[in-house]
Structure 1
Amino acid sequence: MATKARAPATAPLKGRGAASYVPGRFETATTHAEDDGWDSLQRRDETDPDPHPDTRVHEERARSVVSRNDSPDIGFSQSVNPYRGCEHGCVYCFARPSHAYLNLSPGLDFETRLFAKTNAAERLRAEFSRKGYRCSPIALGINTDAYQPIERRYRITRSLIEVMAEYRHPFSLITKNALVTRDLDLLAPLAEQRLATVYFSVTSLDNRLSAKMEPRASAPHARLRAMRELAAAGVPVGVMMAPVIPALNDHELEAILDAAYTAGARAAGHVLLRLPHELKDVWREWLQLHHPDRAAHVMSLVRQMRGGRDYDSAFGSRMRGEGPFADLIAQRFERTRRRLGFTRLPALDTTLFRTPAASGDQGQLF
């Protein structure tokens, strides 16, 4: 299946992270725009990306919603993602290549062609009720943000949290959206029972840089405000600086941790920029459009931390990198974490898990 024709990106698209339809790695044929000498590439035609691409949501019925992993780099074994694709449009998102499995572009399609799992709560309830199910904390919204803008309309994440509450199942979530405060009525009582924690991803305190890298996520100050609101309500809050990008946002590391701690975060982590599969093409294009003066330097440092490549997927190094620059970032992070007093969030409690009796099921008297 061929992808959309890809015209060379000459300018960023307002409100979008990607600037073109980067082809997926499974496409058998791709088409590219070529200049025929008659200024064809200067005229807008069907090969150009729409300067204002709309967001389209496809509602789907999932067969299952719980994904499992045994990666030593990740601190959870189960996750649930209510949506595929993410309207936040974070240009660095490691999940972008997953859209290639749908024969869609990891570029613009990832943030404009979204999939909502409208039966997610139903499937989660069925999984929890399955004979032999073993309770283990669930990470909610790991690949794509569970509180991306369309959650305001679909409320799938809220329905999943309601199921967690019904079964007293522990979970954690990570988000870039202040919309999470909408569900404080659910999160606060669950946190009191050690059943819920929330992490915020903060990549920059610079509104201009944030608007370019993650155009439809909440502004940095809105995330900090949401942290304060959750922490004040008793919800354990953490911060993730993910990703750390050399020569672009790494200089903000200490300031971000300081601001997050002041806002109530009590745990912190960081992850280096990861560029698997097609993401390296989306990222390079973005760099050339927004920071052409430092694009070569950024990529040089990235390769220094990835064994001379754009990306190294090896367990143990894919999150933290290697080499002097990666070590320096790790040392700065650890020194700041200790200075501010970051520790760990309370462990989630798996002993409260229960399978509620079916409605009307009161057993047999005789």
Structure 2
Amino acid sequence: MAGSAHSPTRSPRRGALSNRDGRFEPVRHEVEDDGWGTLEPVAEGDDDRDGWGPPPSPATTVQVDASRTIISRNDSPDIPFDRSINLYRGCEHGCVYCYARPTHAYLGLSPGLDFETRLFMKPDAAAQLDAALRKPGYRPAPIAIGTNTDPYQPVERRSQLMREVLAVLSAFNHPVTITTKSAMVERDADLLADMAARNLVGVALSVTTLDRDLARRMEPRASPPAARLRAVRTLSAAGVPVSVMAAPMIPGLTDHELDRILAAAAEAGAVQADYILVRLPLEVADLFREWLETHVPDRARRVMSRIAAMRAGAASSSRFHDRMRGTGTEAQLLAQRFAVAARRHGLTKRGHALECGRFAPPPRPGDQLSLF
């Protein structure tokens, strides 16, 4: 069952301020001060560098995800792929606005702190992928990785799951697209460069803001903006086609940086750019509102009002096509601003099709050699 919920308690290096119970739970928990002032702010320097007292940041735990399938399929008309891989459930990056947070409710956990501290990993991902790609009748198309949770979140340093999966895809000559907020992608520059030489890979780095302090509070365990741009530069120099996602754009908080983000992306060597408007489904809306009221209280009401203006009066939209861009005058203006900035910085190149014709299962040890 999910933990205690509603009172905001700022934890160092965590995004969510509470552990709100998931929408399927039969009970709701409320946080209460025990009389010792443990939920009250303390004087700057009296406890920790952020100026807040207990409770401490919860530790990250990792459990095995026993899912039997590795490739997820979709038929959404507004995303450019029909299959994806998620190596992890939950994401330690802790981005407070993350639209994937509500998925933790299906596990009986909170979309709040649980989402970024109680993780699940697929240790047999590479072996499962190898088996899936060898199935008779499998037809290759680009696999998207990083569309739900980040494959290069901190736990990846130990698990190496992403590197193992890339090795399998490379051996099969299978195309893949990667989306991440982590400079850890540089670790795999050798594999990615080799795959890029065969037109098998494209990488997208997500840059929400160039403000290091804002990023630290909003995306506490993701790489700083400068490190992400360094990764763009590193991969581009290695011959890997890299795009930058100005995502999510948050009206009233980060949207004024759109032009600067694209300028920095172009300078770092990106060849393409895109943007996505923030969407706050289900439990995420309250978690984000709570974060705004704590970190930017002077802008909280305006930010939520502008999001609603671009989401037909709501905090989110699940309608195809609208959910990525929003609707209304403000959404149209944001789209126009992006188009102008992309042209100005030479980031209008359309994504090229990755190579599917090279796909071939590699021989396994002990396989009988072909006669021809």
Shift of 1:335: 0.7
CA contact (8 A) 1:78 1:138 kept: yes
Match in the other structure for 2:351: 345
Match in the other structure for 2:116: 111
Shift of 1:34: 5.1
Match in the other structure for 1:362: 368
Match in the other structure for 1:19: 17
Equivalent in 29, 35, 38 of residue 27 of structure 2: 29
Q: Does structure 1 residue 144 correspond to structure 2 residue 149?
A: yes
Q: CA offsets, 1:118-152, max 9 Å, x none?
A: 00111111110011111010001210000001100
CA contact (8 A) 2:38 2:55 kept: no
Shift of 1:51: 2.0
Shift of 1:211: 0.4
Q: CA offsets, 1:275-295, max 9 Å, x none?
A: 111111111110111011111
Classify 1:15/1:360 alpha carbon distance in 2 versus 1 (closer, same or farther; 3 Å).
same
Q: Does structure 1 residue 261 correspond to structure 2 residue 266?
A: yes
Q: Find the aligned partners of 1:301 and 1:56 in 2 and give their Cα distance.
A: 36
Q: Find the aligned partners of 2:27 and 2:146 in 1 and give their Cα distance.
A: 32
Q: CA offsets, 1:240-271, max 9 Å, x none?
A: 01100001000000000000011011111100
Q: Find the aligned partners of 1:54 and 1:102 in 2 and give their Cα distance.
A: 19
Matches within 5 A, 1:276-315: 276-315=281-320
CA contact (8 A) 1:241 1:253 kept: yes
Shift of 1:52: 1.7
Matches within 5 A, 1:31-70: 31-33=29-31, 40=35, 42-43=37-38, 50-70=55-75
Match in the other structure for 1:3: 2
Equivalent in 132, 150, 153 of residue 127 of structure 1: 132
Q: Secondary structure of 1:28's partner?
A: coil
Q: Secondary structure of 2:62's partner?
A: strand
Match in the other structure for 1:163: 168
- Which letter maps to 2:100? A
Q: CA offsets, 1:206-241, max 9 Å, x none?
A: 100110110011111111111101000000000001
Classify 1:103/1:41 alpha carbon distance in 2 versus 1 (closer, same or farther; 3 Å).
farther
Shift of 1:364: 7.9
Q: Secondary structure of 1:318's partner?
A: helix
Q: Secondary structure of 2:68's partner?
A: coil
Q: Find the aligned partners of 2:110 and 2:370 in 1 and give their Cα distance.
A: 56
Sequence identity percentage: 52
Q: Find the aligned partners of 2:178 and 2:71 in 1 and give their Cα distance.
A: 14
The number of aligned residues is: 358
Classify 1:40/1:145 alpha carbon distance in 2 versus 1 (closer, same or farther; 3 Å).
same
Q: Secondary structure of 2:109's partner?
A: coil
- Which letter maps to 2:110? S
- Which letter maps to 2:4? A
Matches within 5 A, 1:149-228: 149-228=154-233
Q: Find the aligned partners of 1:353 and 1:131 in 2 and give their Cα distance.
A: 13
Query: TM-score by structure 2 length?
Result: 0.93
CA contact (8 A) 1:197 1:236 kept: yes
Equivalent in 269, 275, 279 of residue 274 of structure 1: 279
CA contact (8 A) 1:62 1:119 kept: no
- Which letter maps to 2:350? R
Note the residue ranges of structure 1 that are not aligned, 5 or more in a row: none
Query: TM-score by structure 1 length?
Result: 0.94
Q: Secondary structure of 2:260's partner?
A: helix
Classify 1:229/1:78 alpha carbon distance in 2 versus 1 (closer, same or farther; 3 Å).
same
Shift of 1:117: 0.5
Q: Find the aligned partners of 1:137 and 1:60 in 2 and give their Cα distance.
A: 24
Q: CA offsets, 1:287-326, max 9 Å, x none?
A: 1110111111011111111111111211110110011111
Note the residue ranges of structure 2 that are not aligned, 5 or more in a row: 41-52
- Which letter maps to 2:84? S
